[in-house]
């Protein structure tokens, strides 16, 4: 983030920023939009963030781990897809310009696609998701 002497507000889950990606393997390099996908308590206290990259290459829209975000009404310049199977942990210093905050409806789709990408939810008993949901809400509303 650019240091202008003012303490910036911590990024929030759902914020979209440009970030500098070094790229390796299948990860593209350069400045790319990414959505913050970490709880707000972690965003406030950790030097790192978990983000999900966006792409404007919309060839695989039918994949259950991709979420289509139209430019109209989202604050994005172009129609994009969130690649929920590719979370990246980055230092906050790699954040560039703030672009927008995605509406809750899109964030719900992203959360669902990310759960499918990891399949971690399949490891839980049926009672666990409710308690995890309550705990996650506490982590996001603390800040």
End-to-end alpha carbon distance in the chain: 20
pLDDT of residue 28: 60
Q: How far is CA 139 from the centre of its chain?
A: 16
How far apart are alpha carbons 53 and 84 in whole angstroms?
Answer: 8
pLDDT at 30 over 90: no
How far apart (Å, rounded) are the C-alpha atoms in residues 57 and 106? 18
**In sequence order, which residues have a C-beta less than 8 Å from that of residue 96 and are 6 or more positions away?**
1, 17, 18, 19, 20, 31
Mean pLDDT in residue range 9-13: 93
Question: Among candidates 57, 76, 75, which has minimal Cα distance to 66?
Answer: 57
Smallest Cα–Cα separation from 143: which of 8, 15, 42? 42
44-55 confidence digits (pLDDT tens):
999 999 999 999
Q: What angle do CA 108, 112, 115 make, to 5 degrees?
A: 140
Contact 37, 15 (CB under 8 A): no
pLDDT of 9 above 90: no
**Is domain 15-141 given the CATH code 2.60.40.10 in the classification?**
no
**Does residue 40 register a pLDDT over 70?**
yes
Read off the pTM. Answer: 0.85
> Above 80 in pLDDT, residue 143?
no
Spatial contact of 87 and 52, defined as CB atoms under 8 Å apart = yes
């Amino acid at each position: 983030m650019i240091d202008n002497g003012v303490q910036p507000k911590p990024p929030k889950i759902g914020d979209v920023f440009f970030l500098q990606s070094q790229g390796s393997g299948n990860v593209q390099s350069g400045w790319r939009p990414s959505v913050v996908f970490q709880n707000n308590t972690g965003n406030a206290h950790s030097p790192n963030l978990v983000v999900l990259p966006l792409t404007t290459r919309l060839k695989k829209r039918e994949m259950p781990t991709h979420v289509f975000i139209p430019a109209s009404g989202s604050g994005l310049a172009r129609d994009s897809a969130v690649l929920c199977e590719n979370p990246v942990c980055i230092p906050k210093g790699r954040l560039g310009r703030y672009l927008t905050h995605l509406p809750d409806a899109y964030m719900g789709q992203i959360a669902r696609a990310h759960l499918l990408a990891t399949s971690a939810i399949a490891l839980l008993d049926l009672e666990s998701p409710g308690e995890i949901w309550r705990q996650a809400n506490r982590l996001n509303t603390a800040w």
